[in-house]
Structure 1
Amino acid sequence: MKKIYFTLLLAVFISLKSMAQEKLTWHTDMNKAFELAEKENKTLMLFFTGSDWCGWCIRLQNEVLKTPDFEKWAKDKVVLVELDFPRKTPQDKEIQIQNYQMQKMFNVRGYPTVFFANPEKTAEGKKNLNTLGSTGYVRGGAEKWLEVANNIVKNN
């Protein structure tokens, strides 16, 4: 009986550990995300959000970005970047400045907005983002949202 209990406990532990390892990483530092995307030859997915006040952002998170379908899709295709504009949640000043600069650069006027961009370095070493397209909340859950995202990044 002890062997069965121990084996079952071990199986649960291994399952939980592998599930924890599969979670996606959302970067908040654009420079680090840029370098990672360049190194891994991936597209940047820039998620402009108001995480603690924007209802459509929260819906996009729950219906798409936190689903197994999205996690499976994103794992090999994109480097995830969250550019958050919270109202209640404290945020480092450096991150605030970076996020407002990115908002201005991409001319973001509403939330949620998701841009896809490829990182490029010029011969002089300057960083550029080659924009592929953008989307926001799409009705229909992960399947419909991923259909739109795939159409944007397919030329990568």
Structure 2
Amino acid sequence: MKWSFIVLLALVFSSFTEWGNDLDKAKTQARQEHKLILLNFSGSDWCGPCIRMQKEIFSTEQFQQYANEHLVLLNADFPRNKKNQLKKELQESNDHLAELYNSKGIFPYTVLLNAEGKFIKSWEGYPSKGIDNFISQLTEVGDGQ
């Protein structure tokens, strides 16, 4: 019984794709695994559409499965509440990502990059047409690379 529980936990956690916060590591991983980078700009404690996007798009099994096969996930979070503030190094890294890819400060803002960090496509706001359409758009762009 103990082993079956461990196997079950391994299966659950193996399907969960982690979001990184280091562009250089994401580029290295994307090159090694022949994947694209999906960079998401979020305000995790103040941006309603960002929170909704995390729950209804990025946390779904459908997105997780697609991401595991095709994407390296990168998140640049900009929390406002004092208790949620990030370490200074991470804040600086997120600011740098914003300078490169989100100079207008749009939230949520999702950017698809190639393995070299070059811009391919972006989406502003919450994907109003749902998860199927969002994945379809990612697939279209990814197939063109």
Same fold per superposition (TM over 0.5) = yes
Instruction: Please report the TM-score for the alignment, with normalisation by the length of structure 1.
Output: 0.82
Report what 1:130 is aligned to: 118
**1:100 corresponds to which of 68, 75, 95:** 95
1:14 partnered with 2:10: no
Q: Cα RMSD over matched residues?
A: 1.7
Task: Give the Å deviation of 1:10.
Answer: 4.5
Task: Give the Å deviation of 1:153.
Answer: 2.3
1:108–1:40 CA distance, 2 compared to 1 (3 A): farther
1:149–1:108 CA distance, 2 compared to 1 (3 A): farther
- Could you say what secondary structure the match of 2:115 adopts? strand
Q: Distance in 1 between matches of 2:133 and 2:52?
A: 14
> Could you tell me which amino acid in structure 1 is paired with residue 10 of structure 2?
K
Task: Give the Å deviation of 1:17.
Answer: 2.2
- Structure 1 contact 117–131 (Cα < 8 Å) conserved: yes
List runs of 5+ in structure 2 lacking aligned partners. none
Task: Give the Å deviation of 1:63.
Answer: 1.0
Q: Distance in 1 between matches of 2:123 and 2:114?
A: 16
For the pair shown, the structure with the greater C-alpha radius of gyration is 1
- Structure 1 contact 116–153 (Cα < 8 Å) conserved: no
Q: Distance in 2 between matches of 1:74 and 1:141?
A: 16
Q: Structure 1 runs of 4+ off > 6 angstroms?
A: none
List runs of 5+ in structure 1 lacking aligned partners. 1-5, 121-128
Report what 1:91 is aligned to: 86
- Structure 1 contact 53–87 (Cα < 8 Å) conserved: yes
Task: Give the Å deviation of 1:148.
Answer: 2.4
Q: Distance in 2 between matches of 1:35 and 1:104?
A: 21
Q: Work out the percentage of aligned pairs sharing the same amino acid.
A: 28
1:43 partnered with 2:36: yes
Task: Give the Å deviation of 1:48.
Answer: 0.7
Report what 1:125 is aligned to: none
Provide the aligned length of Structure 1 versus Structure 2: 141
Report what 1:33 is aligned to: 26
Q: Deviations over 1:114-146 (max 9, x none)?
A: 1011133xxxxxxxx221101131124321221
User: Higher relative contact order at CA 8 Å, sep ≥6: structure 1 or structure 2?
Assistant: 2
